[in-house]
Structure 1
Amino acid sequence: MKRREFFKKGSKAAIAAGVVPMIASSCSGAKDMVYDRDQDKWYHLGTGKTGMPNRKKTVGYDVAVVGGGAAGICAAVAAARNGSKTVLIQDRPVLGGNASSEMRVHLNGVNDIGGQAERETGIIEEILLHNRFENEQESFPVFDHVMYDFVVREPNITLMLNTQAIEAVMDGDKIKSALCWQGTTEMLYTINAPIFIDCSGDGLLAATAGAEYRTGREGKAEFNETYAPDEPDGWQMGATLLMSSKDMGRPMKYSPPSYAIKYTHEGASKRRKFAGYHEGIWWIEVGSDDDIIADFEENRHKLMGYLHGVWDYIKNSGNFPEAENLALDWVGSLPCRRESRRFIGDYFVSEKDMTGHKHFFDAVAFGGWSLDEHNPGGIENISEPPSYFHYHFKNVYEFPFRALYSKNISNLMFAGRNVSQTHIALSSSRIMATCALQGQAVGTAATICNRENILPREVTKSHINELQEMLLRDDAFIPNRPANDANDLARKANLIFGSTTSSGDAKNLTNGMSRDIDGAINHWQSDGLSAELQLEWESPQSISKVELKCDTNVKRNIMMRKDSRNDDLYYNGVPKEMLKSLSLQGRINGQWQNLGLIDNNRTRLIKFSFESKSVTAIRIKTTETYGAENVKLFEVRCYA
């Protein structure tokens, strides 16, 4: 196999990315700065050595994940926890993407279905709970470090920050390697892996691999979409630049910088509101009808000008006297992108799939944010509403695995806003927690690919049930798909009962549904604490793992907000319903023996692991929550 000639084909893409300093030169005969360093004049005074040390490394992993936003973090953690040696490649100095301190977008998900949340569980919930314990002050810079901790504590993950995947090296229809530039070390990495997952949003690696993609808006006719334009066009939703202000307790002057763009609000849509402006205005955005990636720097400069123009209007127009004591406290310099490339998979999700709540045999994730299509033109089209909230969902919709891998690059998967979907479908599924669910799905699928020596398409054909069962066990929720794990010994128990019951039934804990959904009760709730749950078998069972799913109140959101909102829909602390302290016993030869104790649980999915024991019963004693009077459980599992 002849390797793709990077410096001929890839230099344009690399330089456009803005990370690689002169990987190649347009001057005929000029030498590149990475592969040819023999002219470097370094003299090391401590050692007396001359010449540049090697700035090239080749490393191999089971799974390579590109992009360290919510989707990429969840993909990498899922792959690593399921046994894959994983690298997570992030082109910024911090993790989190749009939710990081560089951009500070709320990590939204479904958020609100009919006045109630239907919050995501699994790995993304773990991240948000970890933040509630470690970042009570709700600081975005601290959230960066919470996410960093969440990733680096996984022993199977290698994290590469300040690193961009700039070029795919191909072997037929497979990515053999990713060439990655780490700007802080001047290092060019060649990363080899059998499976690549592009969660970078813009998808540079996937694009250089030749993966099919499209940009812009589909016309109504292609997918029979009600909310699409009559004819296709090139518009992509804009990027936003945020800011925050601080009340200084005294009048504060403001003078706009030289690049500010005057804003008057004259002729603006009534839906362009200033509510909560002290924490940023999401409709300060600029899109593109052409190449939104190539336009990024021009649009960034515009956005900085528009942001200061709007703030000048707030401070100096006289229409906002309440802003007299406010001063800018933080101003973003990195716009938050909503849309660019959308890669084509074996299935292309459209508006009607969502609004019609299509059932997919290969469903692996869900969504429910409204069809929220931002106005073409953004702030440069202020007479129109900033967003058309076309459709508000009353139930969550399913998202299929076939939309999460490439149609023509056989070992490439995606998660995030770059997956296989129409522009209108993207207007809902682009929300970060929804992207995170996709990330957990593809990270889990990657481990199946490596274990079985297969490619993602074969997972759909032969292993989709296994993928779904793995996700459900790891506390993902898949609508209309109850768990049915044949290896779960709890399902074979002859008797299951609680010491007290205030609602539900202990038998619900093995019905495969790990949340109350669509009005159905799928839980057991005690009447006070302490409370016990017991499972009995007629014959001894060899058990080494017991897993529980407790209550974290998925009807209430726990993402960090700038306004620290705390009401019926949002909570700014650790969920009081979550189980804090519990113990496990097993009945062995007629005698109860202690098998485990957890004093400060911090997750919805609680796991006990111990040496295999032959038991005829297990007993779970729950002693404390984080504030609720009763304990509520949704599932119990037992494994050999």
Structure 2
Amino acid sequence: MLFLLAFAVPSFGQSVLVEAESFDQSGGWKLDTQFIREMGSPYLLAHGLGSPVADATTKVTFPETGEYKVFVRTKDWVARWDAPGTPGRFQLLVDGKPLAETFGTQGAEWAWQAGGSVNIDSKEVELKLHDLTGFDGRCDAIYFTKDGSTPPSDDKILSAWRRDLLGLEEAPTVKDGYDLVVVGGGYSGMGAAISAARMGCKVALIQDRPVLGGNGSSEVRVWAMGNIRRGKYPRIGEIVEEFSDHAKKSPGTYEEFGDEKKEEIVRAEPNIDLFLNHHAYKVDKDGDKKISGVYAFDTRTSEQKRFSGKLYVDCTGHGTIGYLAEADFDMAEKGRMGMSNMWAWAEGDEERKFPETPWALDLSMKDFPYPRDHHGQWFWESGFDKDPLGDAEGIRDWNLRAVYGAFNAMKNKDGADQHKPAFLTWVAYVGGPRESRLLQGDVVLTQDDIVSKRDFSDGCVPSTWSIDLHYPKKQFAEKFPDNPFISIAVHDQRVDRNYGYPVPYRCFYSRNIDNLFMAGRCISVDHQALGTVRVMKTCGMMGEVVGKAASIAATYDCTPREVYERYWPEMDELLKLPGKAHRAKLSDDIEVPSDVPPLAGPYGPPTGLDPAKLPGTVVDDSEAERIGKWTSGTGLKGYVGYGYLYAGGDSGGAVRFAIEAPEAGLYDVRFAYQPHENRGKTVPVLVETKTERLEKKINQQQVPPIEGGFISLGELQLDKGEVVTVVVATAGAGGNVHADAVQLVPVKK
């Protein structure tokens, strides 16, 4: 339980400041820390999806009784758009009695709304924040004063007058002795912290939310994408695999994202000090090129701490620590990918009401994509040309107006008859941002580097996602052209999605701040290259690499750059170690436990059916020769290996499999595909050996009859080592052609 200490200060007379985030009980109000750099403070948010949330309560000690003027720092969050209505209304109750003023009804910007006077009869009173709507009312702080003066409304973090009124020490609590200070607790931060700790580094992990995982937490619910454990260093990704979610949808359920599991894994590392609910906001430097300390404050108590270490890694997603340290960075002026706030709804057994939302975006059912499977997915995205740093709250709030406007259309407008039993189950109030600052390293990776497979000597993190860039979807952009809220993904499929493009290590440290690493979506890439490296499992692998590099830099007291220039052979060896390899101190020998995963190989562990566990001998499409243009896919589940290939009918393409008989004997030759209504009914398949030739026509709209998605092409007598070739062509197929795997199964007589 958190208790507030409030003190009288001469410059404000007998005054009491109550930070909303320090309430003893938050009730149904949520702690929102996303916009501290914009408006100076965390705040409580009444995020009730249209139903008022339970009261937040606290006990406050006053210096003396008497009459006090009351001010509440809040805003009317839709006023900036001149929207009708005030959805963020709430009351302040003092010892159970509401003040006459209703808050959240004035001003488009954060400011102190006057609440009249209240008579304090006893020195200890109970305060309550009482939500009236469930539609995201917000309260930063409450100020009581006898002299009637309005408090300053500056946006400075931990301003002097707040510190004085809260009785906080001006000097921060010192946290030192760290080898690596990690700021940001998403996939990249977790990967860096765990990797460094297991290599003997003393690590501080600072996260401004109450949970780990970032976009991959229950708060945002973006499922983890990107293939791991492949390429030149197939051990990289084993740490990510330990904590990654396995959500079946995005957004998934609270349970699927495993917040508790993530925290348990981190806390199990004796070399990690975890600081949840701590917002990093300032850095100290030693000269121009070295960070000497990072300041963070507890978002519940406002206590500030100073963290010092040999090395630092920016895993904030926004490049915040790099920016504060004056690291070189770039940011696209326009056309950036935006922020998502996904949502979900369900249907009950009876009619459910939903309040009218005149302040939300005025939408009808044709103005947005129908949320199939009861999910508003990743493409509920806006802010493409808005300020992702100075106006992130405005982007989030616009997203909320879009979601509530859509559900209002479903419940109260042209979708009402269809959705009588529908009700909202979850709307993300924590945004899922995609793009802002990109910190500059010794290599700035480009789209051309990736599609041309430029070979960097320090390539180490396999990026397997396509170059996936988001733009406003024209179909839904006409009504709100200044700020569309539905996106479309445009994919450049030329990324190797099996082996992966090896992102160079030199993208993971600052070119002008000597002891600063970065991992995640703020690394040294251009806008286009960000489209492939930004997915979470890939970001987590960046963290793993940074953690190992930090152990070398800490051991030899060198810079991240010198790890590449002087110690790369040693780094190469560390990158080949299992993720569970560990040592207690930097000076200890590394131990490899017996329960490490099997080495995955250059294409990683299969994401579909494991060929090694299927009968007979199997050759996957990843080992086949392609003629013409074929696309790799994973959307139709049940495939063999890592995916499948598909191509348009009559495109002139073919796929050639070569499979060798392990022993002499009679074999059933089989071919695997995934059925679909757009597949050809007459797909030509040719089977050849040194003495025989078989020609088949396959209807790929039909389900293959053999387990694993196979169909028999015929039986052949083969010598030991004899090669069978299977060629699948598109000519005359009558539709799209699908090629997954071939199989030789001994026939028992």
Same fold (TM over 0.5): yes
Q: Deviations over 1:330-352 (max 9, x none)?
A: 11111110011101100001111
Contact 2:340–2:380 (8 Å) recurs in 1: yes
CA spacing shift, 1:119–1:413, aligned 2, 3 Å:
closer
Distance in 2 (CA, whole Å) between partners of 1:146 and 1:59 is: 26
Instruction: Tell me whether 350-359 or 322-331 shows the greater mean CA deviation.
Output: 322-331
Q: 2:336 — aligned with what? A: 236
Q: 1:410 — aligned with what? A: 514
Query: Given the alignment, which residue of 58, 73, 77 partners 2:190?
Result: 73
Match of 1:193, SS state, is strand
Distance in 2 (CA, whole Å) between partners of 1:366 and 1:264 is: 43
Spell out the pairing of 1:410-489 with structure 2 (5 A cutoff).
Answer: 410-475=514-579
CA spacing shift, 1:367–1:141, aligned 2, 3 Å:
closer
1:175 CA displacement = 0.2
Spell out the pairing of 1:332-411 with structure 2 (5 A cutoff).
Answer: 332-376=428-472, 380-381=480-481, 386-391=488-493, 393-395=495-497, 396-411=500-515
1:451 CA displacement = 0.4
Q: Deviations over 1:522-543 (max 9, x none)?
A: x996999xxxxxxxxxxxxxxx
Contact 1:110–1:119 (8 Å) recurs in 2: no
Contact 2:521–2:533 (8 Å) recurs in 1: yes
CA spacing shift, 1:52–1:402, aligned 2, 3 Å:
closer
Contact 1:256–1:309 (8 Å) recurs in 2: no
Structure 1 letter corresponding to 2:450: M
Q: Which stretches in structure 1 are left out of the alignment for 5+ residues?
A: 1-12, 42-50, 217-232, 477-486, 491-508, 529-553, 556-564, 572-640
Distance in 2 (CA, whole Å) between partners of 1:29 and 1:323 is: 45
Distance in 1 (CA, whole Å) between partners of 2:207 and 2:361 is: 33
CA spacing shift, 1:251–1:71, aligned 2, 3 Å:
same
Q: Deviations over 1:192-230 (max 9, x none)?
A: 1110000001122210100011111xxxxxxxxxxxxxx
1:400 CA displacement = 0.5
Contact 1:252–1:325 (8 Å) recurs in 2: yes
Structure 1 letter corresponding to 2:344: S
1:253 CA displacement = 3.6
Q: 1:19 — aligned with what? A: 41
Q: Does 1:56 align with 2:158?
A: no
Spell out the pairing of 1:482-561 with structure 2 (5 A cutoff).
Answer: 514=601, 516=603
CA spacing shift, 1:489–1:83, aligned 2, 3 Å:
closer
1:40 CA displacement = 5.4
Q: Name the TM-score, length of structure 2 as normaliser.
A: 0.54
Distance in 1 (CA, whole Å) between partners of 2:552 and 2:235 is: 27
Distance in 2 (CA, whole Å) between partners of 1:570 and 1:163 is: 45
Structure 2 letter corresponding to 1:294: G
Q: Deviations over 1:256-292 (max 9, x none)?
A: 43431122365x7xxx753635122322211243531
CA spacing shift, 1:215–1:313, aligned 2, 3 Å:
same
Instruction: Tell me whether 457-466 or 82-91 shows the greater mean CA deviation.
Output: 457-466
Spell out the pairing of 1:118-137 with structure 2 (5 A cutoff).
Answer: 121-128=237-244
Spell out the pairing of 1:573-592 with structure 2 (5 A cutoff).
Answer: none
Spell out the pairing of 1:130-279 with structure 2 (5 A cutoff).
Answer: 139-140=254-255, 143-172=258-287, 173-216=289-332, 233-264=333-364, 273-274=369-370, 276=372, 278-279=374-375
Q: 2:7 — aligned with what? A: none
Q: Deviations over 1:395-417 (max 9, x none)?
A: 42110000110010010010111
Structure 2 letter corresponding to 1:568: G
Distance in 1 (CA, whole Å) between partners of 2:614 and 2:492 is: 44
Q: Does 1:96 align with 2:213?
A: yes
Q: 2:586 — aligned with what? A: none
Structure of greater relative contact order (alpha carbons < 8 Å, 6+ residues apart)? 1
1:468 CA displacement = 2.8
Structure number with greater Rg is 2
CA spacing shift, 1:388–1:58, aligned 2, 3 Å:
same
1:181 CA displacement = 1.5
1:517 CA displacement = 6.1
CA RMSD of aligned residues (A): 4.3
Match of 2:244, SS state, is helix
Q: How many residues align?
A: 452
Q: Deviations over 1:606-626 (max 9, x none)?
A: xxxxxxxxxxxxxxxxxxxxx
Contact 1:55–1:186 (8 Å) recurs in 2: no
Match of 1:92, SS state, is coil
CA spacing shift, 1:376–1:275, aligned 2, 3 Å:
closer
Distance in 1 (CA, whole Å) between partners of 2:438 and 2:457 is: 23
Query: Given the alignment, which residue of 638, 652, 667 partners 1:568?
Result: 638
Structure 1 letter corresponding to 2:293: S
Q: Deviations over 1:353-383 (max 9, x none)?
A: 2212222210120111111111158964569
Distance in 2 (CA, whole Å) between partners of 1:209 and 1:26 is: 31
Structure 2 letter corresponding to 1:388: V
CA spacing shift, 1:448–1:148, aligned 2, 3 Å:
same
Contact 1:236–1:376 (8 Å) recurs in 2: no
Q: Deviations over 1:563-617 (max 9, x none)?
A: xx9943799xxxxxxxxxxxxxxxxxxxxxxxxxxxxxxxxxxxxxxxxxxxxxx
Instruction: Tell me whether 199-208 or 465-474 shows the greater mean CA deviation.
Output: 465-474
Q: Deviations over 1:131-184 (max 9, x none)?
A: 79xxxx963486111111111111100111111111110112000001111122
Distance in 2 (CA, whole Å) between partners of 1:295 and 1:38 is: 26
Structure 2 letter corresponding to 1:239: M
Q: 1:562 — aligned with what? A: none
Q: Indicate the structure with greater helix content.
A: 1
CA spacing shift, 1:74–1:30, aligned 2, 3 Å:
closer
Q: Does 1:292 align with 2:355?
A: no
Contact 1:235–1:290 (8 Å) recurs in 2: no
Contact 1:110–1:120 (8 Å) recurs in 2: no
1:324 CA displacement = 4.4
Contact 1:176–1:192 (8 Å) recurs in 2: yes
Q: Which stretches in structure 2 are left out of the alignment for 5+ residues?
A: 1-34, 43-139, 142-149, 581-588, 593-597, 616-621, 624-634, 642-749
1:318 CA displacement = 4.7
Distance in 2 (CA, whole Å) between partners of 1:29 and 1:333 is: 25
Contact 1:19–1:164 (8 Å) recurs in 2: no
CA spacing shift, 1:32–1:16, aligned 2, 3 Å:
closer
Contact 1:370–1:428 (8 Å) recurs in 2: yes
Distance in 1 (CA, whole Å) between partners of 2:591 and 2:357 is: 67
Distance in 2 (CA, whole Å) between partners of 1:331 and 1:262 is: 18
Structure 1 letter corresponding to 2:343: M
Distance in 1 (CA, whole Å) between partners of 2:591 and 2:296 is: 46
1:30 CA displacement = 14
Q: Name the TM-score, length of structure 1 as normaliser.
A: 0.62
Match of 2:280, SS state, is strand
Distance in 1 (CA, whole Å) between partners of 2:417 and 2:568 is: 59
Structure 2 letter corresponding to 1:86: V
CA spacing shift, 1:38–1:407, aligned 2, 3 Å:
closer
CA spacing shift, 1:19–1:162, aligned 2, 3 Å:
farther
CA spacing shift, 1:320–1:413, aligned 2, 3 Å:
farther
Distance in 1 (CA, whole Å) between partners of 2:40 and 2:508 is: 27
1:421 CA displacement = 0.5
